[in-house]
Amino acid sequence: MGFNQLNEGLPENCNCIEKAINHEEVVFARHFNKPNLRLQDFSSPWEKDKFLPVPKWLNLKDCFQVCGKKGVSIHIWNKQSENYVIQHYLNIFKVVSPKNKNAVLIFKIKPDAGKVVHTPREYDIFHHDFYKTDNFAIDLLEFIAFINLSDYL
């Protein structure tokens, strides 16, 4: 399981996966907005922005900030979090367009897919960052359910 892409460009002594949790039996959620799930739906902000100038607010010497850009945002999915997570996605993506199939994928992450770190925010205690291995592929996820957000409007 390699993390060369993750480690590229990290500040000195920075290890994004140092506090990785055992995620093999944990269920997660991620919003997506296309009819068919694609590899791009699991792109990190770093991967999406790699051809853009570095944002002025991003301190490339700050391990937490850089790791946050390199991780894929996901949420833990369980009885305590599911209502919060659905509301969170509805608040962020207020306009639910049938054309875009706004939905939430419920899934597990297979061991060779990567590592997960609990990265709670002040406003979001269920937030986690998923750090993909260099060989990540969609088939390294175990799909459990798709939830259509329009069902909650």
pLDDT score, position 125: 96
Strand pairing category for 72-76 and 28-32: antiparallel
pLDDT score, position 95: 53
Which has more confidence, 94 or 28? 28
CA distances from 62 to 10, 59, 104 (A): 9, 5, 31
The 10 Å Cβ neighbour count of residue 64 is 11
- For the chain, the domain total comes to 1
Q: Is residue 15 part of a domain?
A: no
Q: Is residue 62 part of a domain?
A: yes
* Residue percentage of the chain with pLDDT more than 90: 49
pLDDT tens readout for residues 103-148 = 899 999 998 999 999 999 998 999 999 999 999 999 999 999 999 8
Domain that holds residue 121: 26-51+58-152
